[in-house]
Amino acid sequence: MMRAIIILCLLEFEFGYSWQGPIADVSENGKDSPEEECVTDQASCGCCIMQQQMRRMEMFLNTSLNELEKELEKTQNTFNNIRASRSAFSVALFNSDELRCHGPFRDDMFITYTHIFLNLGGGYDVNTGVFTVPRAGVYSLALTVYSDTGSPAKLLAACASLRVNSRVVANLKEKNTQDQEDSASVAVALQLEVGDKVAATLPAGCFLCDDKSHYNTFTGFLLYATD
């Protein structure tokens, strides 16, 4: 211990440098600097220097701790922001043992998908079939439709429209008497704003059929936020 004190005394006395920079000639209370005290009072030299070093170390540690706390707060805010940005849904028309059909109707109708695979963030409303955008960003949207006439030579009308608010983004349509069953799919990436309404609609005269195989699905998720 004594050797360490002597070495610190010699280092500071020889080079006039501490852990935080050159030592001032005059201390805070206006008395002689530690170097001069070492000359006039050898007994107090080690104690004085050690006290100074301890104060400087305390200041250094307090500053480092404050910086770490700031970085931790920033990281926590970033993490909370990421969690708040999570938004994804994936739904299917039916989940029945037997094949069931939805439609046809005389007017265009919203398709209400009743089987929920995922509804992270709660943006999809199972009662209306509408996904309300919780945060501005680029979203991936995918829609698959399937229908079965039940017998050959009957009109197959497997169709649906992907809409954002009142705008039709994509149309899926398969109408003919050549196929007993058929399907179609579309996937797009769109810039959406908070409050936009995304839904799939069933055009008049069309019908979709589904069971536990989940032929008709509607999926969307946030790729990245832009706000």
177-211 tens-digit pLDDT: 787 888 899 999 999 999 999 999 999 999 999 99
Structural tokens at position 96:
């029945």
Residue 157, pLDDT above cutoff 90: no
Structural tokens at position 173:
């349509």
Tell which CATH classification among 3.40.50.1360, 2.60.120.40, 3.40.50.970, 2.60.420.10 matches the domain 86-225: 2.60.120.40
Whose CA is closest to 191, among 146, 133, 110?
133
CB 175 within 8 A of CB 156: yes
* pLDDT for position 94: 95
Whose CA is closest to 215, among 183, 189, 191, 193?
183
* pLDDT for position 73: 77
pTM of the predicted model as reported, rounded to 2 decimal places: 0.64
For the chain, what are the domain ranges? 2-83, 86-225
* pLDDT for position 27: 47
**How many CB atoms sit inside 10 A of residue 144's CB?**
21
Q: Over the stretch 73-128, which tens digit does the pLDDT of each residue have?
A: 777 766 666 665 679 999 999 999 999 999 899 999 999 999 999 999 999 999 99
* pLDDT for position 15: 46
**pLDDT mean over 3-14:** 48
What is each CA distance from 109 to 61, 80, 90, 106, 186, in whole angstroms? 66, 38, 20, 9, 19
The angle subtended at Cα 155 by Cα 152 and Cα 160, nearest 5°, is 125
Q: Over the stretch 44-85, which tens digit does the pLDDT of each residue have?
A: 666 777 777 888 888 888 888 888 888 887 777 666 666 656
